[in-house]
Amino acid sequence: MFNFTPLLGAQSSSEASQSLLELEGGIKVLIDVGWDSEFDAAKLKKLESLSIILLTHATPAHIAAYAHCCKHIPQFNHIPTYATTPVISLGRTLLQDIYSSTPLASTIVPQESLLDTSYSYQSSGFDSSLKILLQPPTSQEIAQYFARIHPLKYSQPHQPLPSPFSPPLNGLTITAYSAGHTLGGTIWHLQHGMESIVYAVDWNQVRENVFGGAAWLGGSGAEVIEQLRKPTAMVCSTRGAERSPLAGGRKKRDDLLMDMIRSAVAKGGTVLIPTDSSSRVLELAYVLEHAWRKAWHKDNRENEKDAHLRNAKLYLAANNAGATMTYARSMLEWMDENVVREFENDSSNISNQQHKRTNSKQVPDGDRSNAAKPSAPFDFQYLKLVERKSRVEKLLSTKGARVIIASDSSLDWGFSKDMLQRIASDPSNLIILSKEYGDEEEEGIGATLWRWYQERRDGIAMEKGSDGQNLDQVHTGGRELNFQIPRRTPLEGKELLMYQQYLATQRRLQNTMPSAGAQSLETAADALDETSSTSSSSSEDSDTGRQGKALNTSAVVAHFNRNKLGATKETLGVNVILRQRGVYDYDVRGKKGREQMFPFLNKRRRVDDFGDLINPDDYLRAEERDDVDGQRVKDGEPGKESRLGQKRKWQDSGLQNGARRRSSTGSNKRRQVTRDPRSRPPTHEINGNGPDDGVKSSDEDVLSSDSEPENEEETATVPSRLDVSTHSVQTHLRIAFVDFSGLHDQRSLSMLLPLIQPKKLILIGGSPSETSSLADDYRQKLGLQPNTDSGASNFVFTPSVGETVNASVDTNAWTVKLSEALVRRFHWQDVKGMGVVTLVGHLAATTIDDGSQPEPSAKKRQKLLKSELSSSPPPLPSPTTKIQELTPLLDVLPTSMAAATRSVAQPLHVGDLRLADLRKILQSAGHTAEFRGEGTLLVDGLVAVRKSGTGRIEVEGGGLAIPGMGMGRGMGEGTFLAVKRRIYEGLAVIAGG
C-alpha cells in the first residue's frame, strides 16, 4: 500500500514543499518541512504521529518550518530525522538567519486559542488585529534540533529507526542520491516490500560550477542507474516544465550575469542580487569571486572590459554568512569534481610557494597579491562578508560602485529588503532577479518586481553585452513599491495577561504528554514570571497579583502530574522508596501483590540484531563536533535541556529582559560575536581592493571601524506582539533577470522521465499550468490520450494540496496460505541478494484456526461436566457466533496429479545478463567478441548474441569450433555451445518441479 498526500506546494505558485507518504502497516513518512515567506502556522496542522522525517534541500522551501515544529509541536523533535551532512549544517545556519532577520518566523498565536482561553479578551473588546507572537527558538535550540538529525551519505542504503509512537517499519530502506540544485540535495529512494518509491523534487541534471548534476545516469550516461530505474511510483516536481534551457548553457548564463554587472558599475551604481543564505548563494559567490580574480590577474590588467570590475567592491550580506562559508570549505567532497580539482591544485601551489620562501626568493611587487593570497574555493580575496545590520547601513551610506549579494531571494525579509529600500530611488542602480516568482496572484516584493519585469511598461534600457546582444534591463518608471516593516513590541497590561492565560491553558493540555513536550512552555513561563514583575510594574491598570496566580496555579498542577512529588506515602505505596528521598524502609505486613516486593526499576537497554546501541557522538574527534558560539552542543554541556531542580546560570535562564541584558552585556557584545574562531573565517577582513592599492578605501574604513556601538536587533525572549507598518518608496532603478535557480527545465524532464520508466507518476511542486503541461506530455509518450479521464489517470496523478492518491502497486494482490508440507519442500536459491523458489501446488479452500480453542486444562474440565449435562437438550447457537471465513490454501500436489504436471513445469532462468559483461567473460576465455550494431555481440565471427528490449537473449550461429584455436576450457565444444554455457552460468536456474 502506498498513499501520497501533498501538504504544501502541489499545483500552486508557492515554493514550499511538504509531502506525506503512508505505507503498509500505518507507516507515515514526512518528506520536507518547508514554509513560504508568509510563515503561516496553520499550514502545519497535519504534522503529527509520524514515523520518520526526510529532508531534501537546505532551502526555506524545504526546511524553514523544522525548528518551529520541534519547539511547538509535542514530541516532534523525538521523531527520527534523516538528511545529508550539508543539509544539516547549512540548514542550521539558514534557520538561525531566518529567526534573527524577521519576527514573522515566530508565528502568531491564533485568535481562536485566545478566545477559548482568555475571558478578559472576550469581554474587554480589544482590537481583533492584535497579533501576539510565540516564543521563537534560540540559536542554541536550533543547533540542538539539528544535532539530533541522523547524517547519511549518498548511495548507502539505511534502515531507519521508528519514532516512539510509530508502528514497526518492517524493513523500510531509505537511500539518498545526489539531486544537484543545492549542496547535499537529495533524491530519496524508499523500498518497502514490493513498493519502490523515488521522491525527486527540485533537482537539476546540468552540472554547475559548484554543484554536480543529479545522479540519474550511470557511468556511461546512456541509461538510468538500476536503483532508480522502473520504480513502482515516482514523485516529481514540475517547476520549470514550460521553461526552455538557455542557449549556451552555464557559460552563457555566467557571461550574461557579468555583462549585467559591468553595465551597472560602469555608471557607478549599486548592483543588488537577492538570493538565499545557504544553498544557491554558494554558486553566485563562486562565480563572482572568480570573475574578480580574473579581472585582477596580472595578464588581464590592461583589459578595458574588466576595468570597471576592478573599481567596484564585492560584498555578501547575510546574518550567518561566515558560518555558511566555513561549512562550505569543509565539505568540498560534496561539490563538483572541478571544485575538488581546484582545491588540490591550490594545495600544490601553496607548497611550492612555501618552498620558494625558504629559498629567500622575493616576489615582485606587481605579482605579490597573486602569489601570496590563497586561491582555494571559498577562500575569498575580493568578496567581503557583512553580517550585521549596522554595517549594512554604513556600507550603503558611502558612494561608489559595488555589487552586493544579499539574503533573502523573496525580498520580504533579510538584508536584501533593507538594501532595496535604500537603492530603489537611484536610476543608475540595478537589481538582478535570480529566479522566477510564480503567477500574477502571488504577493510579495519579489513577485511585484517580477510582474514589472514581465510587463515592461516603462521601456527597456539600451545596453549591449560582450557578444553584441541587447541586455534586458527594464525601467521601473517611478512606480511606488510598498514595504511592510514588521517589528516586535513587548506585551504590557491586559495583553500580557491574555498571553499568560493562553500559556497556562496550553500547559494544562500538555500534562498528559511526556515532560519533553511541555519543556518549551515551562521555559516561557519562567520568563513570564520575571517579565510580569519588571516590565509591567509601572502600569497602573495591570493586575500583577492575578498574573502570577494564573500561571503559578497551573505550574503546580503540571508539576504534580508529571513528577508526583506532592503525592503521599499511601498514594505511592512501596514506590515511596524510589520516589522520595531519605526513605529506606517500608512496612509490607498485610500487603498483597507488588506491595510485598522491593521495587525494582528495570532500565530498558537499546539493542538491535547486532548488540547494544552506542552513541556515535561519544567517538567523534574534536574537529568533528558541532560548535555553536564556541560551545559544544552535542555533548550537552551548556546546551542540554534543563531538568527539574537543575541549576542554571542567570544569562541562560531567559529571565532577564532585553534592556537588562543589553545593559549588562553591552560592553562585551563585540567580544561575544567573534569569540568562536571557526564561526568567523579569517578572510572577513581581507581588503577587497586591487593588489596595487596601498591604503584602504572609505568603504573599508567604515566597515572596519569599531568606534560606534552596534545596534543590532536581538531575538526577544520577552512576550511580544507583532506590529506592521507600511512604507512606500518610489522606484527608479532597473530590473534584470538571470536564471540562477538551478532547476530542471523542459528538456531535462522530457528526456529523463521516459528513461526512468516509472509505473506511476505523481506530479507536484509547480503551478497548475506547468503540472498539466508535463502530465499531458508524459501521457502522450505513453500512448494515452492527454485530456481523458480513462486509463491515463491510473498512471499519472496530479493531486492538489491535501488530496490523497492511491499509488499502490499491489492493488490486485491476494493472500494465499502455504501448507507446512509444501514449505518443507522448498529449495531456495540466492539471486542478487534475494531468495527465489518455484513451486507447484494444489489450491483449495480451507478455514484458518484463529487460536480461540480452549486450553487442554479447560478441555479436561469440559469432559468432567459432559456427563452431568448429557441429559439436558443441546444449546441453541448464539446469534453472535463468529462464522469462520474460507481462505485459499496451497498444498502439495496429490499423487495422481504430480505425474501430469511434471512435464508442464519448465526450469526458469532468473537474472539480467549484460552484453558488455558477457563480452569480457568470453574474451577472458579466449574468444574474440566485438559489438556489431546496436544490441548485437558477434563471437568468433560465427555466433551472434542479441538482447531484445524485453530482456530476452537470442543466440544465433553454428556449433563448430574455429580451426587452429587452442582447446582451452570450453573450446572443444564449439563456439555456439560455449557461448550458451557462459550465458547459463550468468543466470540462476530455478527448477520447475
DSSP per-residue string spanning 353-408? HHHHHHTTPPPPGGGHHHHHS--STT--SSEEEE--HHHHHHHHTS-S-EEEEEE-
Q: In what order do the strands lie in the sheet with 195-200?
A: 173-178, 186-192, 195-200, 233-237, 761-764, 796-797
Nearest to 885 by CA among 842, 841, 850: 850
Is residue 111 within 8 A of residue 41, CB to CB? The reply is no
Task: Give the separation between CA 114 and CA 119, rounded to whole angstroms.
Answer: 9
Nearest to 196 by CA among 759, 811, 805: 759
Contacts of 660 (CB under 8 A, 6+ apart): 534
Q: Mean pLDDT for each consecutive 10-residue tract of the chain (993 residues)?
A: 89 88 92 86 78 94 92 87 95 92 85 66 60 88 93 93 89 94 94 92 92 84 84 92 87 92 92 92 94 85 80 92 91 89 72 50 42 67 91 88 92 91 92 84 84 90 82 90 89 82 77 51 48 41 37 42 52 77 81 80 72 77 55 44 49 46 41 40 40 43 44 59 89 93 91 90 90 90 60 76 84 76 82 76 74 47 49 47 69 75 64 79 86 81 79 73 46 73 75 58
Task: Give the separation between CA 196 and CA 158, rounded to whole angstroms.
Answer: 14
Q: What are the phi and psi torsion angles at 487 (to 5°)?
A: -150, 155
Contacts of 353 (CB under 8 A, 6+ apart): 371, 372
3-state SS assignment for residue 276: coil
Contacts of 870 (CB under 8 A, 6+ apart): none
Task: Give the separation between CA 436 and CA 740, rounded to whole angstroms.
Answer: 10
Contacts of 476 (CB under 8 A, 6+ apart): 424, 452, 458, 731, 732, 733, 734, 735
Q: Which residues pair with 274 in a beta bridge?
A: 406
Nearest to 535 by CA among 500, 583, 570: 500
- pTM of the full predicted structure? 0.69
Alpha carbon distance, N-terminus to C-terminus of the chain: 32
DSSP string, 912-972: ---HHHHHHHHHHTT--EEE-STTEEEETTTEEEEE-TTS-EEEES--PPPTT----TTTT
Question: What pLDDT was estimated at residue 569?
Answer: 66
Task: Give the separation between CA 618 and CA 634, rounded to whole angstroms.
Answer: 9
Handedness of CA 347, 352, 355, 360 (dihedral sign): negative
Instruction: Kindly report the three-state secondary structure assignment for every residue of 314-339.
Output: EEEECCCHHHHHHHHHCCHHHCCHHH
Nearest to 420 by CA among 432, 434, 431, 433: 431
Task: Give the separation between CA 320 and CA 827, rounded to whole angstroms.
Answer: 61
Instruction: Kindly report the three-state secondary structure assignment for every residue of 972-988.
Output: CCCHHHHHHHHHHHCCE
Is residue 724 within 8 A of residue 102, CB to CB? The reply is no
Q: In what order do the strands lie in the sheet with 929-931?
A: 929-931, 936-939, 943-947, 953-956
Amino acid identity for residue 932 in this structure: R
Task: Give the separation between CA 132 and CA 135, rounded to whole angstroms.
Answer: 10
Pairing assessment for the beta strands 52-54 and 233-237 based on DSSP bridges:
unpaired
Could you tell me the three cell numbers for 692?
596595487
Task: Give the separation between CA 989 and CA 902, rounded to whole angstroms.
Answer: 17
Is residue 190 within 8 A of residue 29, CB to CB? The reply is yes
CA angle 847, 851, 853 (to 5 degrees): 95
Is residue 318 within 8 A of residue 415, CB to CB? The reply is yes
Is residue 430 within 8 A of residue 737, CB to CB? The reply is no
Task: Give the separation between CA 483 and CA 489, rounded to whole angstroms.
Answer: 19
Q: Which residue spans within 217-276 are E strands per DSSP?
A: 233-237, 270-275
Q: Using the structure block, give the residue that is written with the C-alpha cell 516593516.
A: 485
Could you tell me the three cell numbers for 512?
498528559
Question: What pLDDT was estimated at residue 19?
Answer: 93
